[in-house]
Amino acid sequence: MGRYLTGRRFVLASERHEVDLGDGDRLCVLESVPPGWSAGAPAAVLIHGLAGNADAPYLVQLAGRLLELGVRVVRMNLRGAGGGFGLARGVYHSGRSGDVRMVVDWLTDRAPGSPIAVAGFSLGASLALRLAAGADVPVSAALDCVVAANPPLDLLACALRMRERRNRVYDRSFARWLRADITRLHQRFPDLGPAGLEGVRSIHDFDDRYTAPRNGFASAEDYYTRCAAGPVLSRVRVPGLIVHAADDPFIPVEAFHDATLPPNLELELWPTGGTSASSAEPPGAATAAGSRPASAIGWPAAGSSNRPANWVRSAKISRFRATALLPTAESWERPRPSRFNKISARGSEIS
């Protein structure tokens, strides 16, 4: 939904770079460096969701707040997305956390000794978690912590949820967007052959007809099983935080109740908030930070004073966006309104 709710746009000074993925494809990243930044200071990689790109409003706003905190930020266009169209013959999917690892390695070379946080939204959140779990490639030694907003832990459950009557308009809209994007890709690279997307009307159809066969999976169900983030969460060893809203219309909450989390990976499950896919500011809404009630969530604790988990003490998650990071622990200690009570992983309420 975020791509329908354009709202206020933010522009960040950034430098475009291309990252070689080692298989003939490249992707595009946008790097922003705050004044006075020096080697060893924190850095972060931000990942957009399905049908998004590095210029998504929620990603740009988050990057802006991080820059205010002195964090070097890389906004990543997933393979073939955004400014990276034409640089890759392949497409991104939930099992390509190796692409994120390539960006982390690229940033490590440019910022040696800096602790790196990875934060993702929706499909990008799934990639961030799979990266931290070493599900597809080994974990980078530079990865310091991970934050995942509204990750689809159970891909099959999400695909089935999208096909429900209340979500059908969004499912078909995403399918139209995916068909158009792949058609454009095949026009750019005619040797890819026919896309074969006639009659595709849902995300499941698209994954069954395109994502799976083009990426070595037997079917959409095989892809969903092998590339879901939920089953690998227990393997995450870096400090981490998962944020999700129980009323998310696209991502069922049951997967979060059933998840097995290691002690270093925290879950903040909130009663309301919707999906991070709708995190762009809605038309006519106030744009000032803190203009609506918001819940505060803390990034995972860490030992060293220069680790990302300490330089960002908390984040604000509002109903329409998950974007503004708060720079001080004082904001984290502020009392929470009772209607924004947190629901723990065990389901008990904490005021």
- Work out the mean pLDDT of the chain and round it to a whole number: 80
Q: In what order do the strands lie in the sheet with 116-121?
A: 15-20, 26-32, 72-76, 43-47, 116-121, 143-149, 240-245, 265-270, 342-343, 349-350
Lowest mean pLDDT among 74-83, 172-181, 183-192, 335-344: 335-344
Determine contact, residues 57/276, Cβ cutoff 8 Å.
no
Q: How does strand 43-47 pair with strand 72-76? A: parallel
DSSP state of 243: E
pLDDT bucket at 3, cuts 50 / 70 / 90: very low
Tell whether pTM > 0.85. Answer: no
pLDDT higher than threshold 60 for residue 76: yes
Q: Retrieve residue 331's tokens.
A: 């904001």
Determine contact, residues 7/82, Cβ cutoff 8 Å.
no
What domains, with CATH codes, occur in the chain? Answer: 15-154+229-350 (3.40.50.1820), 155-227 (no CATH)
Determine contact, residues 55/62, Cβ cutoff 8 Å.
no
What is the percent of the chain with per-residue pLDDT over 90, rounded to a whole number?
72
